[in-house]
């Protein structure tokens, strides 16, 4: 088992995204989406957060607006399995800020089920949210970027499970592997009009929802495999998303960056 090392100090913002507008899906709560919204705000961006859970979304909007200002934060309920709601999200970004510069596709759905017992409904639900939902949001953003000539950036949230085998995760792993492939293909197409598309692949980032859907035994096992002997803080994943969204990654597209300390 690897020795446990404490998380590093929180990294302060440096205005890397000042003046830009970002949309983050599944941003309510304390997970990677919420941490990403906060990091984008700390880097000077205006942020439109979305989530399928209206109450949690409103709570997140209220908290962020109190800290960063109501003119910097807005919210729009969006279920990424519904094309009408996806389009409404972009309409809101256009209405409030004239468009968008950064899209972070964070919405995803997991679950655990052995493939031999998995139902079509379980498979289709995970794929619809995690892969097809990412496609819907990416497609809408690319249409906006192409029509407006904005050299935007898309960052997708994949997972190391898209590379690694894990029992009970066939649907989630297939969806995340699909997100990686979608990222590569979209990047090749979007390069013609100056848009970059990349992805992050976290291994284990702890947040309350993960605790609810994963056994303590499995979390202990996964944590023990990490080189640092600990899980990632959601903001550590968000830091990499900010890097991919900003100008320091200007020559990167079609890449999936592993955010993991896992050793072989």
Catalytic residues: 172
Quick check: 94 and 74 in contact, CB under 8 A? no
The H-or-E segment that residue 51 falls in is: strand 46-51
Dist. CA 11–CA 32, nearest whole Å: 16
Measured torsion, CA atoms of residues 39, 184, 97, 26, in degrees rounded to the nearest 10:
-50
Dist. CA 42–CA 38, nearest whole Å: 6
Dist. CA 101–CA 239, nearest whole Å: 18
Which residue in the block uniquely carries the two structure tokens 């972009």? 90
């Amino acid at each position: 088992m690897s020795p446990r090392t404490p998380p590093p100090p929180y990294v302060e913002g440096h205005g890397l995204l000042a003046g830009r507008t970002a949309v983050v899906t599944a941003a309510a709560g304390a997970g990677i989406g919420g941490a990403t919204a906060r990091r984008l705000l700390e880097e000077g961006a205006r942020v439109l957060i979305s989530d399928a859970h209206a109450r949690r979304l409103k709570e997140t909007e209220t908290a962020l607006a109190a800290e960063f200002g109501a003119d910097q934060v807005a919210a729009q309920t969006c279920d990424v399995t519904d094309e009408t709601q996806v389009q409404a999200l972009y309409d809101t970004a256009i209405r409030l800020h004239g468009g968008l510069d950064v899209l972070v596709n964070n919405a995803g759905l997991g679950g655990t089920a052995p493939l031999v017992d998995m139902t079509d409904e379980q498979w289709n639900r995970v794929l619809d949210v995690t892969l097809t939902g990412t496609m819907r949001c990416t497609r809408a953003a690319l249409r906006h970027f192409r029509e407006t000539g904005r050299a935007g950036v898309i960052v997708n949230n994949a997972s190391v499970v898209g590379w690694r085998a894990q029992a009970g995760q066939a649907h989630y792993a297939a969806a995340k592997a699909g997100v990686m492939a979608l990222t590569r293909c979209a990047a090749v197409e979007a390069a013609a009009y100056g848009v970059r598309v990349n992805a992050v692949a976290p291994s284990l980032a702890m947040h309350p929802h993960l605790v609810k859907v994963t056994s303590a035994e499995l979390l202990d096992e996964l944590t023990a495999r990490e080189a640092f002997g600990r899980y990632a803080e959601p903001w550590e994943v968000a830091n990499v998303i900010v890097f991919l969204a900003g100008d320091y990654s200007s020559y990167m597209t079609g890449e999936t960056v592993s955010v993991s300390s896992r050793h072989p």
